[in-house]
Structure 1
């Protein structure tokens, strides 16, 4: 071709097999050996013949430069051939002894000048070690251990999830304290059960019947006076000490054993403290408001009272003593006789301050009614239950009025107030079976009591319809105030000796016990029944509504947000309201006999 140059004119280049001419693929041979140098099959072929002679001649200097370039190309070809025959390309890339032609070694300069041309850039790499340190590890064992660890972790996570699911509460009911909404049980110890089959009951006898209390659904037991008196039990109220147990009932060790028996069955123990005579003997009975002083006249009455802190207080001593022996609550009997005294409220504050958390004080409704207005909230802030005796014997209208007065009174005015302690009978009143004249109406009245908002309390024997002792001839007129303290009968057991108080047949209706137990369990599981109020939008109200109260027929509904509602229908009159044997009851035809009650769940 015309574009090729031929060396001519006086200088003859040395000819050799490798440098006699410059080949067409010289550039191709200088590139990476990974690129194949053979031309593609579809390469274009120049149809023009080779030129036979040069169009012009070049000088000697230019010929020498061309010869050097031609020599370098020949060396590149030989180097490429040697590389391709010695090792694969991938091995050359990882070996520092082999390098690209256009890349210099690290030991050489990055750029080289040779007759105005820049030399090739060579890169070198460190020699890769033949074996890494982890190559010699026991990989089969490592894989097994990793698998076992993964499976163990997976099993542990599954077990944890299952355990959390199992421990989740089955219901999302609002929590309450042990004394709030649960069934309490009042016992006169000398008339409950004798462990030695003697005339009087004792503390060991109560321990022996602790399973009966648990099966009944009782959450707390309250013992009437257990303290030493000259002629216990006939003059049980004539107490000489608040820390000594009357020998008739047993010893302090017997008391501690009773506490353990009850605690193991999730039953708390409470005591009646007859504080009336002991408060009278206490120096705080004096009117502290009129006390003369110089620099303390501006202090509050309770601050004046604190000056008496070193004086002996038998009530405080008794609370501390019995608290150390496992007692969880105290009913302050007779405190209403001192309710009008301004110092009584501050005494309550002092007694409550020495009690451990979870231990309670109970007072009667009369204390609330007789306390001066300026001290009322001091009293309410330091007691936990207020005893209200439900007058069911007076009929539907009086019962409805009493319920309305309690629900619209101070105890339901705001959250945090003491709960109502509903009772039908107690140690100082006639038996429920005697005041309700319509056959055995004790079961119906008990169900009504257990459906009211607050904490219900049963007097021992009322669950079986126990009567006062029979004394038609007034032969026991001297102990008429004790006729309600009948000895508790037990199914399948016969008395070997006459009890300390006896008169007529004292058998009971033991089939009623299962009904009371079912009602206690239903109450414990239903917030609509065991909760006493609902607080919503700044308004606190009892969650009980009297739906019907006419002609001795009373209907009360209990409700709670997002829970089922319950209805109690009771006949407190003298006429039959006929039949209630079917499980499904139509409100258009609810018929009950006098003294009967029925509890209905509303879907």
Structure 2
């Protein structure tokens, strides 16, 4: 609808002051907006086809490419910052260890395998058959004891005891051990390598020494990784050990070092002297010490705990190697196994120590040994971490505790920010540790292993109740993350 206006021709003309402009003689003004025209002015969302057409346009492509570029630049900046923080963070450098510092040693007497059912299956062959089993336990070296005849004087060091097997079977043992990744060592303890009758006869002594070196060379060429002697042997002298060291170095390489091992039978190792001059430093790689002293009577739990505490507080001058030693009550054997596998140094396990003498518990200690060996293999703190003995100072409580009860023992293995707490209750009564027994330690941790293999998950040090004859290994947290 339109309105037509007609009027004076001067209508709309400008006055003298120029206030208006001249308009047409007639004017059409829309008074109402048609409905279809109103709908055309209303905003409508784009359809799918229109959106796809716009998204493919050059402006959207540039926007998306810039957005992706900003994302990757930001991600790279965060990654570089994280790497810089890790690199600049102080971290203890892991020392380079030799194989004899990392492996678990296993003492074995081939004569114990009396189940050879025919002449073709010798005791040495039985040892060969057990190599995969030993490797599955985490054993890295086998020490063969009783390998030579003891009744021959002087002993023939180039001939195997015929009751054990032949040289060919020993060669097969060496080949199988290389494939299994298990080294073989020969024990020479108590063989009386230098007869007492030699006296001060220098010429005869020199001839015996040459024969022994020839014998050692003979077995080294077959692939033997080293030899062990006792500190009571006549061969334990600075002169002999220096000669043997030269021979060991001749057959050693960067990845295959040949070693000498001494079994310490007394509380301290005898001093070595050459021309009245004490030799500084050790002429052997390993000195095996007994945790439990030999005794003519079965030791009680209190005596074992006392011997353990004395061994743990004894300063160690060289890389230590530990074995059980004297007789231990069967109920404490699993706790002693935990001790051997968590102490600093090289553990030396005797044949049968990995299993229990009680047939019904045969599988449990075997699983315990595997658990400890795996933890020791992957944790730096259990390999070369710092050792700290933790005295309780009577800070404990126990249900029914009396003055004759065996107190618990504990020590800490630390490397960097990683800490392992090892607890022992060797007594026959349960012990509940009071909350403030170790205020300097983190409050929370995670169970790693225990003698009963019945502990797992997070734990708070304020709520540990130790069962009789129990040992526990806990990996501590720097902050309390336990529930």
Matched, 1:387 2:280: no
Residue matched to 1:161? none
2:205 and 2:128 map into 1 onto residues whose CA distance is 40
Residue matched to 1:447? 338
Task: Tell me the secondary structure at the aligned position of residue 517 of structure 1.
Answer: helix
2:370 and 2:390 map into 1 onto residues whose CA distance is 26
Matched, 1:598 2:472: yes
Residue matched to 2:391? 548
CA spacing shift, 1:516–1:387, aligned 2, 3 Å: same
Which residue of the other structure, out of 441, 446, 457, is the alignment partner of 1:583? 457
For residue 266 of structure 1, report the CA deviation from its aligned partner. 1.3
Matched, 1:331 2:210: no
The C-alpha deviation readout for 1:517-556, integer Å capped at 9, x for no partner, is 1211211211211116xxxxxxxxxx11111356431111
Residue matched to 2:305? 396
Point out which structure has higher relative CO (alpha carbons under 8 A, 6+ apart).
1
2:149 and 2:205 map into 1 onto residues whose CA distance is 28
CA spacing shift, 1:319–1:594, aligned 2, 3 Å: farther
Task: Tell me the secondary structure at the aligned position of residue 460 of structure 2.
Answer: coil
CA spacing shift, 1:201–1:452, aligned 2, 3 Å: farther
1:242 and 1:595 map into 2 onto residues whose CA distance is 44
Task: Tell me the secondary structure at the aligned position of residue 461 of structure 2.
Answer: coil
CA spacing shift, 1:374–1:254, aligned 2, 3 Å: closer
For residue 404 of structure 1, report the CA deviation from its aligned partner. 1.5
Residue matched to 1:111? none
Instruction: Extract unaligned runs of 5+ from structure 2.
Output: 1-91, 294-298, 395-405, 433-451, 478-483
CA spacing shift, 1:255–1:282, aligned 2, 3 Å: farther
1:175 and 1:528 map into 2 onto residues whose CA distance is 14
Residue matched to 1:318? 215
Contact residue 203 and residue 258 of structure 1 kept, 8 A? yes
The C-alpha deviation readout for 1:134-169, integer Å capped at 9, x for no partner, is xxxxxxxxxxxxxxxxxxxxxxxxxxxxxxxxxxxx
2:460 and 2:157 map into 1 onto residues whose CA distance is 55
Task: Tell me the secondary structure at the aligned position of residue 180 of structure 1.
Answer: helix
Moved more, 446-455 or 379-388: 379-388
Matched, 1:363 2:262: yes
1:378 and 1:458 map into 2 onto residues whose CA distance is 30
The C-alpha deviation readout for 1:153-194, integer Å capped at 9, x for no partner, is xxxxxxxxxxxxxxxxxx984331111032111111121474
2:280 and 2:240 map into 1 onto residues whose CA distance is 9
Residue matched to 1:266? 181
Contact residue 547 and residue 557 of structure 1 kept, 8 A? yes
Between Structure 1 and Structure 2, the one with more strand by share is 2
2:360 and 2:456 map into 1 onto residues whose CA distance is 29
Instruction: Extract unaligned runs of 5+ from structure 1.
Output: 1-170, 231-236, 289-304, 412-416, 468-505, 533-542
Which residue of the other structure, out of 277, 286, 290, is the alignment partner of 2:200? 286
Contact residue 192 and residue 233 of structure 2 kept, 8 A? no
Task: Tell me the secondary structure at the aligned position of residue 420 of structure 2.
Answer: strand
The C-alpha deviation readout for 1:396-429, integer Å capped at 9, x for no partner, is 3331222221xx24x2xxxxx4x2110014xxx5
Matched, 1:203 2:124: yes
2:193 and 2:349 map into 1 onto residues whose CA distance is 28
1:321 and 1:446 map into 2 onto residues whose CA distance is 36
2:383 and 2:140 map into 1 onto residues whose CA distance is 13
Residue matched to 2:96? 175
The C-alpha deviation readout for 1:478-536, integer Å capped at 9, x for no partner, is xxxxxxxxxxxxxxxxxxxxxxxxxxxx776123212211211211211211116xxxx
Matched, 1:347 2:244: no
Contact residue 346 and residue 378 of structure 1 kept, 8 A? no
Residue matched to 2:31? none
Residue matched to 2:10? none
2:310 and 2:222 map into 1 onto residues whose CA distance is 41
Equivalenced residues, count = 338
For residue 247 of structure 1, report the CA deviation from its aligned partner. 1.6
Between Structure 1 and Structure 2, whose CA radius of gyration is higher? 1
CA spacing shift, 1:512–1:308, aligned 2, 3 Å: closer
The C-alpha deviation readout for 1:243-283, integer Å capped at 9, x for no partner, is 21112211011111111111112111111113552223585
Aligned residue runs from structure 1 range 523-562, under 5 A: 523-531=376-384, 543-549=386-392, 551-560=406-415, 562=416
1:590 and 1:250 map into 2 onto residues whose CA distance is 52
Contact residue 193 and residue 206 of structure 1 kept, 8 A? no
2:380 and 2:210 map into 1 onto residues whose CA distance is 41
Residue matched to 1:565? 419
Contact residue 190 and residue 201 of structure 1 kept, 8 A? no
Residue matched to 1:222? 143
What TM-score, normalized by structure 2, do the two folds share?
Answer: 0.62
Task: Tell me the secondary structure at the aligned position of residue 369 of structure 1.
Answer: coil
For residue 567 of structure 1, report the CA deviation from its aligned partner. 1.1
Contact residue 323 and residue 349 of structure 2 kept, 8 A? yes
Matched, 1:249 2:164: yes
CA spacing shift, 1:391–1:367, aligned 2, 3 Å: closer
Task: Tell me the secondary structure at the aligned position of residue 446 of structure 1.
Answer: helix
For residue 337 of structure 1, report the CA deviation from its aligned partner. 4.7
For residue 446 of structure 1, report the CA deviation from its aligned partner. 0.4
For residue 384 of structure 1, report the CA deviation from its aligned partner. 0.5
Task: Tell me the secondary structure at the aligned position of residue 395 of structure 1.
Answer: helix
Contact residue 189 and residue 233 of structure 2 kept, 8 A? no
What TM-score, normalized by structure 1, do the two folds share?
Answer: 0.51
Residue matched to 1:516? 369
Residue matched to 1:185? 106
